[in-house]
């Protein structure tokens, strides 16, 4: 008995290396030979594309130029598009600059003794002789005053800057997204801040000091392709105050002295300039500059920072076209569930397990097949939506935040992965529940319904929506976000504006964890139960 019970190697699964390949082949044959499932996958891809493009063709926020005989030309964005930073991202770049040219290597040093602010709750200047009559005083936490070395005075130029802020101490910032903290605390006449920037080739190093004697290096950055002659000098800016759907323009005023540029070109003088898109730009107030006996008083408004969708930025992320993934997702959940529950309904599961007694491997093969098929359908559905949807939005006069080619690829792969992992979650849930209606309801509730109530409808309290988008499989929708949230930029970071509580891959990771946990439970149950 003992002898016969020990299987020969060739007869055991352990020696059967190509066994899983045979299972994959069998499950793929199963999938492709049910016409309804194949058609459903085509529909999922088509829905993802069609609904996405339909959604993108809808909104028209543009303004149509009007001539003497009625509207002329296609609608154009009412608000000029955001400047584009050195790395291709949308940026805000409005501030008041007092500058002179700096040729070659050199440095600039200042002392800041005051930073105060005002805000315009009504949204801007009042008409009449006293345009700032409604302003209230108070400095924005991210109001900035300091020294900047910039490639040019054009918006979106490469730069590095040392600054004091309204509420976050000294910072070194560069190229819009870079941010390094320096000395903490607020600036005042009693507690001034000394700032210095040193250029050596492409390298800029920032220092700060409380007394002008003891200096601390805050950071060093390399700005590629910095021209030989750059513009350098004191600057001030103050971002809009935002809360929920409201915003208000603000301005800040700073006092500088001990301004020193040791290697300044002979005869160079200080010139003040408002860096803005145009004089009537809506996102900042006009600035000004007064020099008296080596003391500069500078007022500025705006921000030097990455720009993202929010109350002050009416532009929309291209991901508004992704609602199509949504329609596709429902179809994918149904097919993923049916891939196993149809076998339970007909008793076919016993045929499957008689042909392949390794139950965990059967489920794994099913997961690989449904996941791969769905991923392919997702790529086919999402690929046209991303570029075409953005261009549709632009044609209707909407501003769309730019994205790099790499981001486009990531978004397409991410949407496809969202669909694929959700189909695997549906398969696993179907295995656990063994009943199509129950499993489909559960998975749709956990993904589509949670997302729908949290984001487009926004009927849940923000805290609850935030929590649901972190812990439920709906966290996977975070993969749609492509404009990052920055802690150094005051904005309303809500899903409605395209910001999710988890980073894109982290959100997809939460969905993957759900799918993995469901697969584990499904495997345990499948092994334990009588078939």
Which residues lie near other proteins (CB under 8 A)? 4-5, 7, 10-13, 15-16, 18-19, 22-23, 25-30, 33-36, 342-343, 346-348, 350-358, 530-531
Q: What are phi and psi of 407, to 5 degrees?
A: -65, -40
CA nearest neighbour of 412 among 377, 382, 372, 374: 382
Closest CA to 240 of 355, 348, 386, 140: 140
The CA-atom distances, in angstroms, between 209 and each of 139, 192, 280, 361, 465 are 22, 9, 38, 65, 44
Half-sphere exposure of 395 (CA within 13 A, CB side): 10
The DSSP annotation for 20-66 comes to HHHHHHHHHHHHHT-HHHHHHHHHHHHHHHHHHHHHHHS----B--E
Please say which residue, 352 or 422, places its beta carbon nearer to other proteins: 352
Residue position matching structure tokens 């609850």? 464
Closer of 4 and 137 to other proteins (Cβ) = 4
CB 361 to other proteins: min, Å: 11
CB 363 → other proteins: shortest distance, Å?
Answer: 14
**What minimum distance in Å lies between the beta carbon of 21 and other proteins?**
9
Closest CA to 97 of 28, 166, 145: 145
Tokens 């390794």 locate to 358
> Shortest Cβ distance from residue 9 to other proteins (Å)?
10
Shortest Cβ 390–other proteins spacing (Å): 39
Instruction: Pick between residue 228 and residue 354 the one whose CB is nearest to other proteins.
Output: 354
Whichever of 340 and 383 has its CB closer to other proteins, that residue is 340
Q: Which is nearer to other proteins, 25 or 154 (CB)?
A: 25
For the chain, how are helix, strand and coil distributed in percent, rounded to 5? 40, 25, 35
Of the two residues 356 and 448, which places its CB atom closer to other proteins in the complex?
356
As given in the structure block, the two tokens for residue 246 are: 């409201």
> Which residue lies nearer to other proteins by CB, 22 or 103?
22
Give me the least distance between CB of 19 and other proteins, in Å please: 6
- Name the 3-class secondary structure at 469: helix
Burial of 12 (0-12, 13-18, 19+ CB in 10 A): exposed
CA pair distance 382, 380, nearest whole angstrom: 6
* Residue placing its CB nearer to other proteins in the complex, 19 or 384: 19
Angle between helices 348-355 and 323-346 (to 10 degrees): 80
Q: Is 454 left (phi over 0), alpha (psi -120 to 50) or beta?
A: alpha
For other proteins, which is the closer residue by CB, 303 or 343?
343
The residue among 92 and 352 lying less far from other proteins, judged by its C-beta, is: 352
Q: How far is the CB of 531 from other proteins (least distance, A)?
A: 4
Q: Tokens 């508004």 label which residue?
A: 320
- 3-class DSSP state for residue 122? coil
CB 11 → other proteins: shortest distance, Å? Answer: 6
Minimum CB separation of residue 381 from other proteins in Å reads 24
Beta carbons of 93 and 304 less than 8 angstroms apart: yes
Q: How far is the CB of 333 from other proteins (least distance, A)?
A: 19
């Amino acid at each position: 008995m003992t002898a016969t019970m020990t299987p020969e190697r060739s007869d055991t699964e352990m020696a059967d290396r190509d066994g899983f390949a045979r299972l994959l082949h069998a499950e793929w044959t199963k999938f492709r030979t049910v016409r309804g499932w194949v058609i459903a996958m085509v529909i999922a891809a088509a829905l993802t594309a069609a609904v996405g493009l339909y959604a993108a063709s809808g909104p028209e926020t543009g303004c149509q130029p009007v001539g003497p005989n009625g509207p002329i030309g296609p609608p154009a964005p009412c608000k000029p598009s955001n400047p584009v930073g050195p790395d291709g991202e949308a940026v805000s770049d409005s501030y008041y600059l007092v500058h002179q040219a700096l040729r070659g290597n050199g440095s600039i040093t200042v002392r800041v003794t005051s930073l105060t602010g005002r805000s315009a709750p009504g949204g801007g200047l009042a008409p009449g002789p006293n345009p700032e009559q409604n302003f209230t005083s108070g400095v924005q936490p991210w109001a900035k005053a300091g020294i900047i070395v910039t490639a040019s005075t054009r918006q979106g130029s490469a730069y590095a800057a040392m600054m004091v802020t309204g509420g976050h101490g000294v910072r070194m910032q560069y190229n819009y997204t870079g941010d390094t903290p320096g000395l903490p605390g607020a600036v005042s006449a009693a507690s001034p801040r000394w700032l210095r920037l040193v250029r050596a080739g492409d390298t800029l190093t920032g220092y700060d000091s409380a007394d002008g004697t003891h200096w601390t290096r805050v950071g060093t950055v390399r700005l590629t392709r910095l021209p030989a002659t750059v513009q350098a000098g004191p600057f001030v800016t103050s971002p809009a105050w935002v809360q929920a759907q409201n915003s208000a323009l603000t301005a800040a005023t700073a006092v500088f002295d001990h301004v020193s540029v040791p290697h300044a070109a002979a005869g160079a003088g200080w010139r003040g300039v408002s860096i803005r898109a145009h004089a009537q730009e809506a996102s900042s107030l006009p600035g000004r500059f007064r020099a008296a006996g080596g003391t500069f008083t500078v007022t500025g408004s705006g921000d030097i920072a990455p720009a993202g969708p929010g109350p002050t930025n009416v532009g929309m992320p291209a991901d508004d076209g992704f609602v199509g993934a949504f329609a596709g997702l429902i179809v994918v959940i149904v097919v993923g569930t049916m891939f196993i529950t149809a076998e339970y309904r007909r008793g076919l599961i016993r045929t499957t397990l008689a042909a392949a007694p390794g139950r965990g491997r059967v489920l794994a093969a099913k997961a690989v097949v449904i996941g791969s098929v769905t991923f392919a359908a997702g790529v086919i559905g999402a690929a046209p939506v991303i570029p075409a949807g953005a261009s549709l939005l632009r044609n209707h006069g909407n501003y769309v935040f730019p994205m790099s080619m790499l981001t486009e690829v990531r978004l397409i792969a991410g949407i496809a992965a969202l669909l694929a992992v959700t189909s695997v979650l549906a398969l696993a849930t179907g295995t656990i529940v063994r009943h199509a209606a129950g499993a489909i309801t559960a998975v749709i509730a956990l993904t589509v319904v949670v997302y729908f109530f949290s984001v487009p409808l926004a009927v849940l309290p923000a805290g609850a929506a935030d929590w649901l988008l972190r812990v439920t499989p709906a966290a996977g929708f975070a993969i749609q976000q492509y404009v990052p949230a920055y802690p150094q930029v005051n904005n309303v970071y809500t899903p409605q504006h395209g910001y999710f509580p988890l980073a894109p891959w982290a959100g997809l990771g939460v969905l993957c964890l759900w799918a993995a946990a469901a697969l584990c439970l499904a495997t345990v149950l499948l092994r334990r139960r009588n078939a």
